C-alpha cells in the first residue's frame, strides 16, 4: 500500500509511503483518498494528520507515470484536493521532509501545517515549462507574501522551511523530526472542534502588492526568460489569485496549465528533464561496480582550465595539488583562483571563511614527487600531443597504483595517450568546458582501454562536483567540438554566400542562442580556432573549409583581445560594432572564389546552422561516439548555450522530422560548398 492509515487517540494518521520520494502517482492518490474517506466516516476520529515516510513528505508527481494516462486518472490531484477542502474533519499536514510540487499543493490543501526546520519547500513546475496545476498558484498567495510567491513559483527555486517561518504557511514549527508527529497529533486534538474548518481557499489572497508588483515581475522576466512562456503564465496565475475569487482563480490556473502543457517550450523542457535522467546510464556497465575512492586530486597545468578544474574539486571539499612547471604560471594560476573566490565573496555568494577554506585546499607544487599519492590526476597542459604524452609517461612512472589518470584534452587521441602508459585501463578523458568552475558539462571520454570502475568512479565524481556527465567515445572533438566544427564551418560559408557576421549572429540569437558564432569567436579568440584548423588541415589537406577565418587572423584580428575580430571593438567596451574592413574582406574573398552573393533568409541561416549540428550528431551516434541522441542534446545545452526552449539540436531535428531534415539537407547540398553536407 502506498499510504497507510492508523488511529491514535481519536486522530487518524495517514502516512504516504511510496519510496523513493513519496510520489503522488495514481495508486498513492487513490490510497490517500480512500483513507480520508474512511477517517471521515469513522465517528471515532476527530481530526486527520497527513504525513510521509522517511525524509520526504512528498516530492510531487510520480516520474514513472510522467506523460502516461495515469497522471490524470481519477482521483486526479486536483480532485483529491477538492475532497480535502470539503472534508468535514480538519486535516493537519505534518511536514517531515521535502515538500515539492504536487507534494506542496497537497500540503496547501490541508487545513493546517506543522513543519520541521530545514526542509525543502518548492514549486518547481516552471522548470518543466509548466505551472503548479493543482491550486498552488491560488493557495500559496493566501499564506505567503506575493514577493516570495513570485520568486518561488516563477523560478522554481527551493526554499528552506526556516526561511518561511514568518509566513502563515506553517501553523506550528518543531526543530526536529522526532517531535513532529506528536506535535501534529496534539495540534490536531486542539483544533479538532474548530468550526467552520479553516480552509486555505476561504482566506483572502495576500495583499502585499502594489500596482507595479506584477508589471515589475513581467519586466524582470523579459530580461531573464524571454523565450519561455511558463514564468509569465505563473505571474498571470498569481495575479488571478488576488483579482479573482478562488474558483475563478483555479479555472484560470487550469487554463494556463493546459496551454503550457501543449506548448513546444514545455515539451522541450520535459525532453531535457528525461534526458538528464537517462544521461548517467551506461548500457554495458553494471550499476553495482565498486568505485575507486577519490579523496584527493592533482591538476597538471595551472592555466585557464587547470585553475577552473581545481576550483571544482575544492568546492566539493577535496584537497587539490596544482602542478605547473613554470613558476610564473603557477603563481598566476593561484592568484586567479583567489581572485575568483574573492569575487564570489564580494557578490555575497561565499563567506570569507569559505573563501579561505577553499583557497587553502588548493596547494601549488612543482614536482611530480609531490603528487604521487593522490587518487586522481587531471592533466590540463597545452593542447599538444607530444607534451601530453610526456606528461602521461611521467605520471605512469610516479603515480601510485590505481590512481586515475585523466586528460582534459579537447581534441587529441586519448587512445594514443593511454598507450604511452603501462596502465591504459586507468586513463580516461575528463573534458571540462570553459569556465570550468562554472560550466555544468563534463564529457567523460572512454578510451578503448578504460576500465569500467574508472568510468563509474568518474560518473560518481561528476555528481559530487555538480556536473552533468555525458559519456563519449574517442574521436577528434568528441561530441561537442566535433559538432561545433560543422557549425562554425557553415557559419563561414554563409558569409561567403552573402551574409554579414551580424546577420548570422542576429538570426541565431533570435532563435535563442545567447551569442552567435562570430561574437562567440571574437570572445574566445579567433587565433585559438585558427591553430586547431591548421592542425586539422595538416592532417587532412583535402578538407573543405572556408579560409575566411584564416584571412581574419592574418590581419591580426584575433577578437576582443585585439579590439578587432569579425567586429570592431573599442577600449573597455565589449559591444560588437560592424566592421567595414571585414565586410569588404568577405566580399572580395567571395569574388576570388567566384561565388555570387545572394540574400539569405534568417530561416535558412538557422536551419543550416542547427542542422549542421544535428547532421553531425547523427553521424556521432552512428559511430557509437555518443550513447543516445538525448546525450548529444545535453552536451549542446549545457556546454554550448543551445537555447533550452528548443530542447537541443537532435530534438530540433526530431521535431522537424528526419525526413524533412533530409529534404533540407539535399537542398543545401545543391548550394555552394554542398559537398560538406554529405550525409
The binding site for ligand NAD (CB under 6 A) comprises 300-306, 323-326, 329, 380-383, 387, 391, 408-410, 432-434
CB atoms within 10 A of CB 78: 20
Helix (H) or strand (E) holding 238: helix 229-243
Strand order of the sheet with strand 11-16? Answer: 3-8, 11-16, 47-52, 91-95, 112-116, 172-174
* C-beta closer to ligand NAD: residue 143 or 298: 298
For residue 15, list its beta bridge partners: 4, 51
* C-beta closer to ligand NAD: residue 339 or 603: 339
Residue nearest to ligand NAD (CB): 303
Alpha carbons 664 and 679: distance in angstroms, whole number: 12
Whether the Cβ atoms of residue 381 and residue 388 lie closer than 8 Å to each other:
yes
Closest distance between ligand NAD and the C-beta of residue 393, in Å? 11
Whether the Cβ atoms of residue 594 and residue 641 lie closer than 8 Å to each other:
no
- Cβ within 8 Å of residue 494, ≥6 positions away: 504, 600, 605, 608, 609
Residue among 300, 572, 538, 341 at smallest CA distance from 437: 341
Closest distance between ligand NAD and the C-beta of residue 319, in Å? 19
Q: Name the active-site residue from 34, 40, 125, 383.
A: 125
* C-beta closer to ligand NAD: residue 301 or 517: 301
588 phi/psi in degrees, rounded to 5: -70, -30
* C-beta closer to ligand NAD: residue 76 or 329: 329
Closest distance between ligand NAD and the C-beta of residue 16, in Å? 45
Closest distance between ligand NAD and the C-beta of residue 507, in Å? 25
* C-beta closer to ligand NAD: residue 48 or 377: 377
Q: Is 125 a catalytic residue?
A: yes
Q: Is 440 a catalytic residue?
A: no
Closest distance between ligand NAD and the C-beta of residue 330, in Å? 7
* C-beta closer to ligand NAD: residue 328 or 571: 328
Strands (E), 22-165: 47-52, 56-58, 91-95, 98-100, 112-116, 120-122, 159-160
- Cβ within 8 Å of residue 559, ≥6 positions away: 521, 522, 523, 524, 525, 526, 527, 565, 566
* C-beta closer to ligand NAD: residue 326 or 663: 326
Q: Name the active-site residue from 65, 105, 253, 497.
A: 105
What is each CA distance from 309 to 26, 248, 530, in whole angstroms? 44, 52, 25
SS3 309: helix
* C-beta closer to ligand NAD: residue 93 or 330: 330
Residue 84 C-alpha from the chain's centroid: 36
Closest distance between ligand NAD and the C-beta of residue 381, in Å? 4
Alpha carbons 105 and 122: distance in angstroms, whole number: 10
SS3 563: coil
Sole residue written with cell 476527530: 46
Residues serving a catalytic function are 105, 125
Amino acid at each position: 500500500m502506498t499510504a497507510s492509515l492508523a488511529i491514535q487517540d481519536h486522530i487518524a494518521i495517514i502516512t504516504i509511503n511510496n519510496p523513493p520520494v513519496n510520489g503522488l502517482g495514481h495508486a498513492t492518490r487513490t490510497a490517500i483518498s480512500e483513507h480520508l474517506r474512511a477517517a471521515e466516516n469513522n465517528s471515532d476520529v476527530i481530526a486527520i494528520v497527513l504525513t510521509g515516510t522517511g525524509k520526504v513528505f512528498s516530492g510531487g508527481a510520480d516520474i514513472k507515470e510522467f506523460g502516461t494516462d495515469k497522471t490524470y486518472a481519477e482521483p486526479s490531484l486536483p480532485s483529491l484536493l477538492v475532497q480535502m477542502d470539503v472534508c468535514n474533519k480538519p486535516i493537519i499536514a505534518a511536514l517531515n521532509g521535502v515538500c515539492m510540487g504536487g507534494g506542496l499543493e497537497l500540503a496547501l490543501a490541508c487545513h493546517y501545517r506543522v513543519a520541521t526546520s530545514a526542509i525543502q519547500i518548492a514549486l518547481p513546475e516552471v522548470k518543466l515549462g509548466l505551472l503548479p496545476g493543482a491550486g498552488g498558484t491560488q493557495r500559496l498567495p493566501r499564506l505567503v507574501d506575493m514577493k516570495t510567491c513570485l520568486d518561488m513559483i516563477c523560478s522554481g527555486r527551493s526554499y528552506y522551511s526556516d526561511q518561511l517561518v514568518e509566513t502563515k504557511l506553517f501553523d506550528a514549527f518543531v526543530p526536529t523530526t522526532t517531535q513532529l508527529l506528536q506535535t501534529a497529533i496534539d495540534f490536531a486534538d486542539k483544533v479538532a472542534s474548530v468550526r467552520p474548518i479553516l480552509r486555505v481557499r476561504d482566506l483572502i489572497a495576500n495583499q502585499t502588492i502594489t500596482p507595479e508588483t506584477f508589471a515589475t515581475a513581467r519586466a524582470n522576466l523579459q530580461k531573464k526568460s524571454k523565450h519561455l512562456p511558463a514564468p509569465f503564465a505563473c505571474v498571470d496565475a498569481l495575479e488571478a489569485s488576488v483579482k479573482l475569487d478562488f474558483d475563478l482563480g483555479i479555472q484560470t490556473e487550469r487554463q494556463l496549465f493546459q496551454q503550457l502543457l501543449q506548448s513546444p517550450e514545455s515539451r522541450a523542457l520535459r525532453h531535457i528533464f528525461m534526458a538528464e535522467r537517462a544521461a548517467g546510464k551506461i548500457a554495458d556497465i553494471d550499476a553495482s561496480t565498486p568505485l575507486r575512492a577519490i579523496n584527493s586530486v592533482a591538476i597538471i597545468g595551472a592555466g585557464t582550465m587547470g585553475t577552473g578544474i581545481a576550483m571544482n574539486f575544492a568546492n566539493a571539499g577535496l584537497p587539490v595539488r596544482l602542478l605547473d612547471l613554470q613558476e610564473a604560471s603557477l603563481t598566476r594560476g593561484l592568484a586567479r583562483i583567489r581572485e575568483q573566490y574573492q569575487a564570489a565573496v564580494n557578490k555575497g555568494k561565499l563567506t570569507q571563511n569559505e573563501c579561505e577554506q577553499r583557497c587553502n585546499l588548493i596547494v601549488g607544487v612543482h614536482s611530480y614527487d609531490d603528487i604521487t599519492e593522490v587518487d586522481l590526476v587531471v592533466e590540463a597542459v597545452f593542447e599538444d600531443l607530444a607534451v601530453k604524452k610526456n606528461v602521461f609517461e611521467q605520471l605512469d612512472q610516479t603515480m601510485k597504483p590505481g590512481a586515475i589518470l585523466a586528460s582534459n584534452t579537447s581534441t587529441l587521441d586519448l587512445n594514443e595517450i593511454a598507450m604511452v602508459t603501462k596502465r591504459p585501463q586507468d586513463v580516461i578523458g575528463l573534458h571540462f568546458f570553459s569556465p570550468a568552475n562554472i560550466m555544468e558539462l563534463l564529457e567523460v571520454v572512454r578510451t578503448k582501454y578504460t576500465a569500467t570502475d574508472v568510468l563509474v568512479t568518474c560518473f560518481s565524481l561528476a555528481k559530487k562536483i555538480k556536473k552533468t556527465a555525458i559519456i563519449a567515445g574517442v574521436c577528434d572533438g568528441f561530441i561537442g567540438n566535433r559538432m561545433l566544427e560543422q557549425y562554425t564551418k557553415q557559419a563561414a560559408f554563409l558569409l561567403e554566400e552573402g551574409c554579414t557576421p551580424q546577420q548570422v549572429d542576429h538570426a541565431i540569437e533570435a532563435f535563442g542562442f545567447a551569442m552567435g558564432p562570430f561574437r562567440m569567436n571574437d570572445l574566445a579568440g579567433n587565433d585559438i580556432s585558427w591553430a586547431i584548423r591548421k592542425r586539422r588541415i595538416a592532417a587532412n589537406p583535402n578538407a573543405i573549409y572556408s579560409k575566411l577565418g584564416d584571412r581574419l587572423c592574418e590581419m591580426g584580428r584575433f577578437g576582443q583581445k585585439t579590439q578587432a575580430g569579425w567586429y570592431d571593438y573599442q577600449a573597455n567596451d565589449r559591444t560588437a560594432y560592424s566592421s567595414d574592413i571585414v565586410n569588404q574582406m568577405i566580399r572580395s574573398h567571395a569574388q576570388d572564389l567566384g561565388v555570387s552573393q545572394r540574400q539569405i533568409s534568417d530561416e535558412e541561416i538557422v536551419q543550416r546552422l542547427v542542422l549542421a549540428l544535428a547532421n553531425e550528431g547523427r553521424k556521432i551516434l552512428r559511430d557509437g561516439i555518443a550513447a543516445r541522441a538525448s546525450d548529444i542534446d545535453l552536451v549542446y545545452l549545457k556546454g554550448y548555450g543551445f537555447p533550452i526552449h528548443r530542447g537541443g539540436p537532435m530534438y530540433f531535428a526530431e521535431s522537424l522530422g528526419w525526413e524533412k531534415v533530409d529534404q533540407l539537407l539535399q537542398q543545401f547540398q545543391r548550394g555552394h560548398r554542398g559537398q560538406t553536407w554529405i550525409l
